[in-house]
Amino acid sequence: MEIYLDNSATTKPYKEVVDKMVYALTEEYGNPSSVHRKGVIVEKDIKNVRKEIAKFLGAKEKEVFFTSGGTESNNAVIRGIAYANKRSGKHLITTKIEHPSVLNTFKDLESEGYNVTYLDVNDKGVIDFEDFQKALREDTILVSIMHVNNEVGSIQPVDKIGKYLSKLKRKVYFHVDGVQSFGKIDFKPSRYNIDLLSVSAHKIHGPKGIGFLYVKENTKIKPILTGGGQESAFRSGTENVPGILGLGEAVRITMTGIKENIEKIKNLKELLLKEIKDNIDDIKVNSSEDGVCHILNVSFLGIKGEILLHYLEEENIYVSTGSACSSKKKGSHVLLSMGISNKEIEGAIRFSLSSMNNEEEIIKAVKVIKEKVEELRNIINKR
């Protein structure tokens, strides 16, 4: 039995997603820009996906843009807002625990003369609202804050931030990286006063290399990709039709069953935590109780998370030591920012669940984790 507990890295596509992609690759493979029938059919298919996503977001069709995923959406927003609004100011605000697609983009902008404030987080991985208020300046043009952290699952107060920004006299754009929250928290960008929202399909059982960006009407943003003018000239390039149709299926299934899914995943996470606490000694839970439903980060003290990960892989159990994109680098910047010690970071494992998991898998996984942790601790103690 394969037990996949690395759903923050990526998820298994729904069957409907695969079927829709096969349709787009084998039957309706036309270019949506072609004026003949094969093009028009595909153009309509894309329009329907955009319409459906807009409906779930409570947004307008023209506010939804397809991109290659979270990384591109984050880059497009941060660079696009910074370049288009530099006359109003060059100050940007973010947090220390963002995904590298945000942090490295801000680093790049710093080298181009922009000023960036990186907000600290507390031991729960959450920013201080007063710090955020204090960081705002006359020349601030963009606040970019992730909704849910991908390593520990902490939830930032994006509703409070959005409300605060919307009451300011001058325009400060608010971008939310919603890659780990879309489908795991039931929200709409307009309810939180979000101007820009990044979403990635492969975190919600869709295909890799596709996602969307919500851009509120009248946002002043410079396109990053120029060319043939697709996506209302915001994102040129022939559309990734199989990806877009697959994304559409993933969003439809995710959003139709969102309440039940969240409840199911939350219960599985609680079971996982209880089983770990009841069966394994010397652990430290790095995720806070009020975190997102699908992520649980736990340190198994005295052992190396990376070694445990490979021991579990031998048993067909898949977990992560941090985020997939940064797990090859030493020391998680997220756990370090939360004040977690190096020893605790060394033994950290991120479990991330999806609605495709079940109770039997959780109980089996913890049984194996207990055995492997004991085995590793025995080896270390004998040295």
Residues that bind ligand PLP (CB under 6 A): 69-71, 74, 99, 101, 146, 150, 177, 179-180, 200, 211, 323, 325
Instruction: Give the shortest CB-41-to-ligand PLP separation in angstroms.
Output: 28
Q: Which two tokens stand for residue 333?
A: 């910047």
Query: For residue 6, what is the DSSP state?
Result: B
| C-alpha–C-alpha distance, residues 174 and 157, integer Å | 13
When the beta carbons of 96 and 377 are compared against ligand PLP, the nearer one is 96
The span from the first CA to the last CA of the chain, in angstroms, equals 34
Answer yes or no: 325 catalytic. yes
When the beta carbons of 122 and 327 are compared against ligand PLP, the nearer one is 327
Instruction: Give the shortest CB-146-to-ligand PLP separation in angstroms.
Output: 5
| C-alpha–C-alpha distance, residues 20 and 17, integer Å | 5
Numbers of helices and strands, H then E, in the chain: 12, 12
67 sits in the region (left: phi over 0; alpha: psi -120 to 50; else beta) called: beta
Question: E-strand spans in 242-326?
Answer: 283-285, 295-300, 317-318
Instruction: Give the shortest CB-108-to-ligand PLP separation in angstroms.
Output: 16
When the beta carbons of 21 and 369 are compared against ligand PLP, the nearer one is 21
Pure H helices in 85-240: 100-111, 129-135, 158-166
Instruction: Give the shortest CB-379-to-ligand PLP separation in angstroms.
Output: 32
When the beta carbons of 4 and 311 are compared against ligand PLP, the nearer one is 4
When the beta carbons of 177 and 346 are compared against ligand PLP, the nearer one is 177
Helix 359-382 and helix 258-279, axial crossing angle in degrees, nearest 10: 30
Query: For residue 60, what is the DSSP state?
Result: -
Instruction: Give the shortest CB-325-to-ligand PLP separation in angstroms.
Output: 6
Cβ-proximal residue to ligand PLP, closest one: 70
| C-alpha–C-alpha distance, residues 11 and 61, integer Å | 27
Q: Which of 54, 224, 325, 368 is catalytic?
A: 325
Catalogue the active-site residues.
325
